[in-house]
Structure 1
Amino acid sequence: MPPYQDHLGGFGDYGDGEMEDYDDRDGMGAMNAILARMKIGGDFAPVGGQRALEELLWMGGDRGRFRDGEDARRGPRVPEIHTRGNTYIPGRVRDYDQIQARSNMHAVFEVVKDLGESGGGCNDSILVVRSRRSGREYVEKQMSGSLVSRGFAKSEIDFLKQLQGEANTIKMENFLLEEDSRIASIIMEQCDWGSCRDLIKRHHVAEKNISERWLWKAFLQMAEAIKFLHYGPYGAHDWNSVLHMDMKPDNVLIQSGHCTTPNIKVADFGSAMGGDKGLTVSRSYTPCYKAPEKEATKKADIWGIGIVMLCMCRLSSRFKRDRHAGSTYSQQLNDAVYECLRWSPRYRIRSENLAHRLSGLVARVDKSMLRGNAPIPPSGL
């Protein structure tokens, strides 16, 4: 089935939920409820008439009683997922022996792994999930009720819809936003190498520097991503500028590519802002990575690129006042990192010029400095 867009703007492949928690005595009432909600045999994309009839067969048996408002084994009912003006009642999540967490969209995705909290606890959890339909794995970012009620969840979803995964930005595959229930999830493409923070840890443990050759690649890809956030695709005249405002090793992900070395994906737009009007930063951010200036401008994202590069060069996830990449790396790389980390934003390089500047610098690097192995992959790759 080709991807479709629901009336909330989400993208994905809904379907294949299992309705397995109805008692025999509730079968007729449940059937009437479903028939009232679904157009049996009609144009209902996620389920369709045949699938709806198949799911009705799951309502009998002694697989657990679905009581009013609560299930005795599994807690409160889950929110309904809206699709194309109809309402699909999601099936209950299957029991897992080792994984207690569940997807907010568990009719569509099953949990593979719980990665824990992210962003200092701003999100409820980060899960690796698998599509029940296609078998493909994604990452689900579950957002707290506070972020939903304050409008930050909707804002992040809107930014991801605008970016569409272009120019080394993370791609949103699907989402759930229930503002009344204060529940929100974003389903994103999976980055199998983890984050730059994870890469730093692997190289630190191995006592091995990250090769300069790959660092230049990561530098260029981050520069292109931030330029795209700020100015959009080439020739765009009505682009709504996006300021990331929280560039750090945790928020720059790494993904296997078609070439021999992995690629960069800029992620986590929970602190992002629209426009470039010199507004004071008011959203959550990580203080130790924040640019020196108080205003939220494009130059703050350039500082963030410099921070990520410096952390990878120094094999440290914390920024220290020394703004040099170190003697292990070429003078050109040291100069490029320093240009991003000038204290005064007035003298910091502009995002539209950074990628071109990096291309010119790397062309002058001694070829011996560009030798080296690919970064250390996570175990299992």
Structure 2
Amino acid sequence: MPVAEVLAVVTVGSEAGIRARTVNRAASVRTDLRQSGFDSGIATKVALRLSLRRWLQTQAFLLIVELLVSSPRWLGFSLFETPLALDTGASMGAKLGCSGRHLSGFSLERIKSDVESYSAAAGVLSYREEGSTMFASAFGNEASATFRPGLGCTLNLGDTSTLDQIELLAVAPDSSLPLRTNNHLQSLVDELLQQDNAAGLDTRALVVVHKGAVATASYGEGINADTPLLGWSIGKSVTAMLIGRAAYLGKPLLEDVVPFPEWSGDARNTIRLGHLLTMTSGLDLNETYVVGTDSTRMLFLDPLVVTRPIASPYGSSPGQTFYYSSGTTNLLTTLLQRHLGSPQALYTFFDEELRKPLGLAHTTL
């Protein structure tokens, strides 16, 4: 049984005992006051007031303890982590709000609902827009994210001036896949999407591609084939494709060297590119998506998303254990950028070697 439930049982189960002790305490105080010469009626009232105060203090203490223990279950974080949770929530709200507004075209009402789907505690966030920047705040904690055409939305953490210096390239020609509707399959996918959303999964789109054509597609409320949506971990596959493309073109990343100089003087010097590509680096990175972990700090609080992964300690021998890691993808992207020479070079490589050949006219980094 969870600790919070055990505590609740103890609290409820001990109420009769607390009442019994309260009565005994009142009788004891009344006797002491009467022996000291107080009137019997006054002694009884004073004793009951003192005992009631003690009982209320006990109940308040038990309630506070129960809140502290059970808060992770209904808030998603401990009450001790409230300041950190407010910072994280504001940053997440600003980033998702900016992308939702400027890329997906969502209303502020829908954005608020989307963010709250991650945690009910996000309901305290308020939003405001100033030009291309979205602000999210709660109890004095404020964060912002700015939209840049062609580059999407970026949190305003640290120095972001490099993004303003990137030269945008012409949009790739649209080469959408042909649509070959299968009525039976369409009804099945429509039903799946309805079941998902009835279960609270908030599925936005289901698309089936078969033999180079879209066999069917089903969309959630307010979503259609032209609605850009957050790709999240699709970025992992894109990163792998870019590194593979570099190798195919004769620009492979070196596989027999320590990827980062910071690892040269300790046990991490046994990590190689192949370990990062297979997510078997052995780095001690916590991918749990709750307040205070490596992943949430990296995504929403760190000015550079690669700082925390590079600083991660050695956890286990490389090549032994697979561990899904967003931090590892950030390491790989950083390696590729350094290999190509600059953020502009990475952007150009993505555009020329992936986006344009695939006709990804509506894809934003």
**If the TM-score is normalised by the length of the shorter chain, which range does it land in?**
under 0.3
Return the structure number with greater strand share: 1
Between Structure 1 and Structure 2, the one with more helix by share is: 2
When normalised by structure 1's length, the TM-score is: 0.23
Q: State TM-score, norm by structure 2.
A: 0.23
Larger Rg: 2
Larger relative contact order (C-alpha < 8 A, sep ≥ 6)? 2
